[in-house]
């Protein structure tokens, strides 16, 4: 294995991007296989939606522990073990004899699949600061943004080769390779002398400390719910593509290519803005893009008798761009509130975000995916809540500066 004296940043962009791609692939790649899974196990569309919901709930619950485990035992061991468990779960899903067994494997996938993104954010903050950290986060999110477009295409391709089980075999092969890649290339970024003790009482005390930090909440709200507005369309993809746009299994790119184009563009722009534009302006521009997308989607939904491509999905470019413009800055602001507890902060952020996405997948998507108009209203509502969170945080920062030094209040840079 590589020496710990090597630059820990050398392989980070590709490794962390690959780790964060597990989530989109776990969700989006199986969409084309939904009809075949339903027929083989004789389950309804509502039951099939639980393949997404149980994964997200398990992902959210376990994300509370990934960061704390990484703070106690190091970043690298936690990622390696989690990837190995995910590989085993994917093999089990590929060989599932019934739908209940498949759901159980999805739970195990969810419990292990989040380690990469939760711990990966802490790795970025361990090894870099300021503009460099924002650029790295933007690079990771730019590569990660390609995954939602590739996943359903790969899923449809695998469906034609080996059916829906081939999708899970591919996931197992990907994570097995990633397990070895992390073991060989990732350099531990959390030294032994900085590690905490993994015990229930200190863990709970750490989370209570985070919870008592008032500015943490609006930042967590904004970072969690922004993506949820976009995820509403992603979670609704099977119904949206098949029933609203009347396309076949090869129609998923009409939704995911605009989403990914926007996300990659936003991440690229965020990286270019690092050190040139203040955090508050970067986030504000992100919200301007998201709200513009919402307005366009509402106008198109009202003005068109029948949803059709590309117009019904094209505004999602703006939404995806806005999400990725704001997300790296919001994440770094969150992590910087507790420099000695970045793994725990990343866990809490991931937990809140995944609870929101699980609610979107299990409740909002089935309720709002009947029309493009209801989807547009749902996304607009979530984006508005995120904007309220950001405005709340900015006000708290202005108040803090006014108390610390009244003359500095005008120079607030959230």
How confident is the model over 75-133, as pLDDT tens digits?
888 899 999 999 999 999 999 999 999 999 999 999 998 888 778 777 777 777 667 77
Six-digit token string for 144: 């990660």
pLDDT the model gives residue 151: 76
Domain ranges of the chain: 12-187+198-409
Tens digits of residue pLDDT in 387-407? 999 999 999 988 888 776 655
Nearest to 350 by CA among 37, 113, 178: 113
Which residue has 């599932």 as its token pair?
A: 96
How is domain 12-187+198-409 classified at the architecture level of CATH? Up-down Bundle (1.20)
- pLDDT band of residue 29 (cuts 50, 70, 90) is confident
What are the CA-CA distances from residue 153 to residues 25, 31, 47, 58, 257 (Å)? 10, 10, 23, 26, 10
Q: What is the mean pLDDT of residues 229-239?
A: 87
Contact call for residues 19 and 178 (beta carbons, < 8 A): yes
- In the chain the first and final C-alpha atoms are separated, in Å, by 41
d(CA 258, CA 276): 27
Provide the whole-model pTM. 0.71
Task: Select the more confidently predicted residue: 143 or 63.
Answer: 63
């Amino acid at each position: 294995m590589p020496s710990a004296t090597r630059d820990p940043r050398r392989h980070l962009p590709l490794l962390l991007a690959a780790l964060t791609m597990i989530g989109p692939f776990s969700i989006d790649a199986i969409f084309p296989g939904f009809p075949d899974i339903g027929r083989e196990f004789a389950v309804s569309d509502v039951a099939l939606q639980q393949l997404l919901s149980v994964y997200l709930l398990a992902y959210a619950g376990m994300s509370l522990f990934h960061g704390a485990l990484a703070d106690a035992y190091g970043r690298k061991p936690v990622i390696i073990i989690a990837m190995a468990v995910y590989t085993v779960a994917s093999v089990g899903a590929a060989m599932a004899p019934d739908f209940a067994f498949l759901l159980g494997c999805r739970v195990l996938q969810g419990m292990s699949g989040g380690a990469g993104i939760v711990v990966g954010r802490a790795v970025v903050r361990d090894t870099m600061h300021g503009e460099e950290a924002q650029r790295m986060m933007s690079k990771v999110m730019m590569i990660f943004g390609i995954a939602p477009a590739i996943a359903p295409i790969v899923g449809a391709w695998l469906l034609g080769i080996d059916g829906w089980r081939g999708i899970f075999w591919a996931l197992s092969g990907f994570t097995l390779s990633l397990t070895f890649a992390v073991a060989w290339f990732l350099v531990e970024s959390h030294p032994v002398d900085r590690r905490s003790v993994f015990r229930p009482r200190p863990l709970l005390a750490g989370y209570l400390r985070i919870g008592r930090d008032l500015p943490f909440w609006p930042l967590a709200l904004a970072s969690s719910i922004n993506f949820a507005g976009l995820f509403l369309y992603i979670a609704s993809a099977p119904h949206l593509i098949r029933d609203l746009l009347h396309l076949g299994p090869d129609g998923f790119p009409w939704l995911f290519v605009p989403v990914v184009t926007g996300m990659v563009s936003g991440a690229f722009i965020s990286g270019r803005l690092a050190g040139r534009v203040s955090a508050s302006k970067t986030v504000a521009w992100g919200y301007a893009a998201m709200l513009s997308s919402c307005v366009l989607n509402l106008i198109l939904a009202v003005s068109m008798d029948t949803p059709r491509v590309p117009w019904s999905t094209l505004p999602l470019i703006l939404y995806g761009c806005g999400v990725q413009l704001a997300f790296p800055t919001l994440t770094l602001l969150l992590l910087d509130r507790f420099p000695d507890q970045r793994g725990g902060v990343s866990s809490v952020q991931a937990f809140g975000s995944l609870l929101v996405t699980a609610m979107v997948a299990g409740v909002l998507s089935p309720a709002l995916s009947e029309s493009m108009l209801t989807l547009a209203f749902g996304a607009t509502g979530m984006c508005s809540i995120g904007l309220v969170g950001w405005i709340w945080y900015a006000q708290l920062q202005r108040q803090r500066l006014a108390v610390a030094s009244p003359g500095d209040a005008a120079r607030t840079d959230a």
